[in-house]
Amino acid sequence: MAAKKVDALEERLEGEMNQIKTTVEERMSSMEGQVADLRDMIKKMLEVHNQTTASVARSGEGRSRNSEIRCTREKRCSPLAPDKQQPKTDDRQQLLSHTINPYL
């Protein structure tokens, strides 16, 4: 009698284990597909980014971070003349505050 119960439990456990294995395999396959799709999307995004970066560099639309330097389309850069230089930070803040609230 006990042997029959053990055999029945063994068969039941084996069936459940097979079901779990199948579920895990299906989910792994699904995840692998999603990772492949994500990899393709990232690859396409990088290609588009590289193309736009290259086109901006060719067109000369890139801006220098140094506000003291002026660049022309021919890529010749020169410092700004002293009278054409950007105002100091304090002057900018005063201009900004007066622009926002003219009564200051």
- The string of pLDDT tens digits covering residues 5-30 is 999 999 999 999 999 999 999 999 99
At 55-88, the pLDDT tens digits run 877 776 555 555 555 555 555 555 555 555 555 5
Answer yes or no: pTM beyond 0.95. Answer: no
User: Which DSSP string corresponds to the chain?
Assistant: -HHHHHHHHHHHHHHHHHHHHHHHHHHHHHHHHHHHHHHHHHHHHHHHHHHHHHHHHHHT----S-TTEEE-TT--EEEPPGGGSPPPHHHHHHHHHHHH-TT-
